[in-house]
A and B are shown apart, each in its own frame.
Chain A
Amino acid sequence: MKYRSVFEIIGPVMIGPSSSHTAGAARIGRVARKLYGRQPKWAKIYLYGSFAETYKGHGTDVAIIGGLLDYDTFDERIKTAFEDAEKLGMTFEFIPEEEEMEHPNTARIVIGDEKDEMELVGISIGGGTMEVTELNGFPLRLSGHYPALLVVHEDRSGVIASVSNAIAAQQMNIAHMEVDRKAKGEMALMVIEVDQVIDDTLIQELEALPHVTQVSTLAD
């Protein structure tokens, strides 16, 4: 089921003019920001389909930048996101692409700073609802419906067990989980959607586990 809350139909409360091209775009940007965990220094945003054709008219560009500045869909500051980004020293570039993607409203966001970079593909599926379909080359399906943990780790036996044990020790229930890897023994990604709010102690515990490289979270 793509939609599960009435507030995805009657909502979001948002700055106009388009739920898919403005609010959904802001949410894709904000999820990228949350997963990155800090303010990126630069951003390259590739737009596909209807996003590529109409992004200026819909304010898709200011909305994505607003999201990267951690603004919510109803934040009036979305309108001044370009100026705000400039003040914070974040540079950005929009690249409309010709290539046809599976979904007409697709954005590929590459963000980074001097330390590392992250690449995320998000689709805006209508009414302000979005999904993440790819993270750092890993295909996934992340709706943002539930609080989620994203654990980058080395592909070794026992890592999945130690992560799920740490989650179980916090009396947390896993709603959905998927694991994918680049190649046998190389970098892997666990996406774990949970029913409860994730606290910082769990994140620290997970980060301390052997073979775990990085932990990001996404609140509901």
Chain B
Amino acid sequence: MEVLFGTVKELVELAESQNKPISEIMIEQEVLLTKRSREEIIAQMENNLNVMEDAVEKGLQGVHSTSGLTGGDAVLLQNYIATGKSLSGDLILDAVSKAVATNEVNAAMGLICATPTAGAAGIVPGTLFAVKNKLNPTREQMVNYLFTTGAFGFVVANNASISGAAGGCQAETGSAASMAAAAIVEMAGGTPQQSAEAFSIVMKNMLGLVCDPVAGLVEVPCVKRNAMGAAKALVGADMALAGVVSRIPTDEVILAMHRIGQTMPSALRETAKGGLAATPTGKALEAQIFGREKVGSGSTN
């Protein structure tokens, strides 16, 4: 299949040689591969942006999952920001709160947009709607933010994995936070290469993160991993914009993530058998939520 880019190196070279943002290269490749019109593609991404915005707003009003494990933290964070006492900074905490809001809606079986997965759906919109208040982007720039995250995610999905069952949480929230960092850089006026550096810096700090959901639910620790993923994305973007570079090239960081995922034991890849899921409290919560129902045949009807 004919593609414009299969690696981050090719993506950055294309963007820099043609003097185009990464989001534009992603749109051009989408036109090429799917044979759909540019307008249709942009309209679909606008729809995804609207879904993300609605989810953030819903989460900020306060939602709770049926298990009772998650919910309400986005509201706590907004209330805390309003006191003016935040130590890490209002923008970071706003991003954290909006990431949490999205994942709380997801855990409550609400409508979200996977970025790149549902379990990691908070980081991209959380950072976007927080950075929005500082950079005042147009709606078009916000849509482009999503195309830029998609371009990096496309490389990860095809060269490594975006599935927690295959590669652990590093493949999900790790990918999401790295993708978001790259898009923040573009929105803030950084170069395509700086986007790649931001991606690498964040991904290097997500390597090895396991997928160990308590009771198999996308709640504990998923919601808080989205919170921290959003914070790391912002710090990584700032580091790249300051001129910090990664010693290991982005494509090699992605391959390292892939290899780490392949060697990760199955207990730590979304089976709810290891890590936090296997702690005494994790087990007790599982028993409390599912009772005896979870064990044995799941015959229904």
Contacts and interface: CB of A to CB of B under 8 A. Distances in A.
Interface of A: 1-20, 22-23, 49-50, 53-59, 61, 74, 76, 79, 82, 85-86, 91-96, 103-105, 124-128, 195
Given A58-B217, A93-B300, A94-B300, A15 B110 contact: yes
A57 B216 contact: yes
A104 B216 CA distance: 14
A10 B26 CA distance: 12
Contacts of B273: 53
9 contacts: A9-B150, A9-B162, A14-B113, A14-B114, A50-B270, A54-B216, A57-B290, A95-B298, A104-B165
B263 interface: no
Contact of B157 (A2, A17, A74, A76): A2
B118 A18 contact: yes
Interface residues of B, number: 71
B287 interface: no
B158 A16 contact: no
A213 to B, nearest CB: 32
Contact of A54 (B106, B116, B270, B300): B270
B197 interface: no
Given A4-B33, A86-B301, A12 B216 contact: no
A127 B117 contact: yes
B109 interface: yes
A104 B266 contact: yes
B118 A126 contact: no
A17 B115 contact: no
Contacts of A94: 297-300
A20 B34 CA distance: 22
B186 interface: no
A16 B118 contact: yes
Contact of A12 (B34, B113, B272): B113
B294 interface: yes
A13 B49 CA distance: 10
A150 B157 CA distance: 28
A9 B51 contact: no
A119 B96 CA distance: 45
Given A17-B218, A92-B301, A49 B271 contact: yes
Contacts of A91: 301
Interface stretch (B40-48, B198-206, B235-243): B40-48
Contact of B113 (A2, A11, A85, A126): A11
Contacts of A105: 163, 165
Contacts of A57: 67, 213, 215-218, 272, 289-290
Contact of B217 (A14, A17, A95): A17
A155 to B, nearest CB: 30
A61 to B, nearest CB: 7
A124 B294 CA distance: 22
Contacts of B289: 57
B81 to A, nearest CB: 25
